[in-house]
Amino acid sequence: MKTSNSLWLLFVEGDEKAFSALFKYYYSMLHNYGSKICGNDILTEDCIQNLFVYLFENKERLSHIKNPNTYLFVSLRNSIFKQLKKRKAEERLAPETEQVISFEFSPEDFLIQKESFLSTTTILNKMLNSLPTREREVIYLKYYSGLSVSEISEVIEISSQSVSNTLLKAMKKLREGALKGVLLSALA
């Protein structure tokens, strides 16, 4: 069993040390994901705080949850969307500006591996940001957060099949884009 899963079990049984350990284990992961969704660190931190207060106060009701990975990502995602909607409503923005999810990548987000088909972080970054938001989020959850296809399908509420297809489509686009990029840089 994964460490995170056994920590979760201890936590729902009422172990306070497991609660702290769980918090430390997930904090960076959730913080990065949340900031990518909304581009706002303070909002993300508030949402994570509230999420963990909720977990602590409702642990008896959470024993049926077997996979904390999915549960925490889904909860954070929902709570950030709720807050964003609330803010939008407060600012009385016109509905057409309601592009809640941002998911912008930056060149520092990537490490380039030797075996990778992509030569520079800037090209990769440009191409990734030109993908639709949904595809970007799938890529992020898969390769950054290390979630499996079925976990991703629960987090963003689409079928596993769609997750695989989205991944496939996105990686194909990147591959083709990279080939073009390499050709262009060779011509230049």
| Minimum CB–partner distance for residue 116 and other proteins (Å) | 7
How far lies 135's CA from each of 147, 166, 169, in Å? 14, 6, 8
How far lies 42's CA from each of 20, 45, 109, 134, 138, in Å? 21, 5, 20, 23, 24
| Minimum CB–partner distance for residue 184 and other proteins (Å) | 20
At 26, which amino acid appears?
A: Y
| Minimum CB–partner distance for residue 167 and other proteins (Å) | 6
Contact status: 12 vs other proteins (CB under 8 A): no
Rounded CA-CA distance 112/92 in Å is 43
Tell which positions 124-143 bind other proteins, by CB under 8 A. Answer: 124, 139-140, 142-143
Q: What are phi and psi of 169, to 5 degrees?
A: -60, -45
Residues 118/174, Cβ–Cβ less than 8 Å: yes
Tell which positions 42-101 bind other proteins, by CB under 8 A. Answer: 45, 48-49, 52-53, 56-57
Q: Which of these ranges, 59-67, 77-85, 91-99, 163-171, lies near other proteins under the rule CB under 8 A?
A: 163-171
Note the residues at the interface with other proteins (CB under 8 A): 16, 20, 23-24, 27-28, 31-32, 45, 48-49, 52-53, 56-57, 108-113, 115-118, 124, 139-140, 142-144, 149, 161, 164-165, 167-168, 171-172, 175
